[in-house]
Amino acid sequence: MSISNAKMVGARPILKRFVAPGVIVLAGMMLGTASSAADLDGLKASSGTYVNDPGHTRFLWRIEHLGLTNYTARINDVDIQLMFDANDVASSSVTAVIDPKSVDTGYVGEEDFDNKIATDEGILNATAHPTIEFTSTTIVKTGPKTMAVTGDLTLLGVTRPVTLDVVLSGSTDEHPFVNVPALGFAATATVDRTEFGLDFLSGAGLGDQLEIEIHAEFIRQ
C-alpha cells in the first residue's frame, strides 16, 4: 500500500483527538537519540513523540463462535500516541483512542451488521460510549525486542487493567517517504469481555475471551 506525505503526517488531527473530553493526555517528551545505548536490539529510531500511521494500522479482534471457529473482525479508526524513550523503554508511555463506530466485520447481507455491533446497547453501545481508551501504566522489557505493556482499558465506561505483549517489528532513523524516524510494533492481548459488562450471548454461542491483535507503524512528530 503506498503512502503519501499528506496521509501519513498531519492527515488526521490526532493530537486534537487527545485533548477531547475523557481522553488522557501524556505530558512531556522523552528527549535523546537512539545510539549504542538503545534499549531494544537493532533499534534505529530516536526518542520522541510518535503517532500511528492510519494507513498502516490494523486492529483485529476475535471471539469464539458456536464452538466452531474464531469470528474475526477489525476496527478501522484507531489513534495511538507513543512517548518513546529509545534508551529506556520502561520510561515510555502510550495512549490509544478507538472509535467503536468504525467496526468492520466484512459481513455480507441485508442487515447493517457493523452498525448493530457498534450501536446496540447490549454490545458496543457507541452512542453512550463513543470511545474505547487505553492508557499505559507500566512497560516492562521482556526480551531483546519484546515488552509487556500494562495499562487501563476503558470499555463501556468500565476501566480494568490489561496487559499487551508487544514486539518491535522494525525501526528506521529516516522513513523514505517523510524523512523522519519511524517504528513498527505488533501487540496481542486477551480480554475477558464480561469484566467490562460486555456479556452479549455469553454462554449462548459466543466465547467470553476477546483476542486482540494490533499491527501499527509509528511516525515521529
Q: How high is the pLDDT of residue 153?
A: 98
List b or e across 140-158, with b for residues whose CB sees 16 or more CB atoms inside 10 angstroms. Answer: eeeeebebebebebbbbee
How far apart are the C-alpha atoms of 221 and 210, rounded to whole Å? 32
Where residue 17 falls among pLDDT bands split at 50, 70, 90? very low
Tens-place pLDDT, residues 60-85:
999 999 999 999 999 999 999 999 99
How far apart are the C-alpha atoms of 22 and 76, rounded to whole Å? 20
Q: How high is the pLDDT of residue 45?
A: 97
Range of the domain at 169: 5-220
For residue 71, give the amino acid letter: Y
Backbone angles phi, psi at 101, to 5 degrees: -70, -10
Write the CATH number for 144.
2.40.128.110
Cell numbers standing for residue 205: 454461542
CB 61 within 8 Å of CB 75: yes
Give the number of domains in the chain: 1
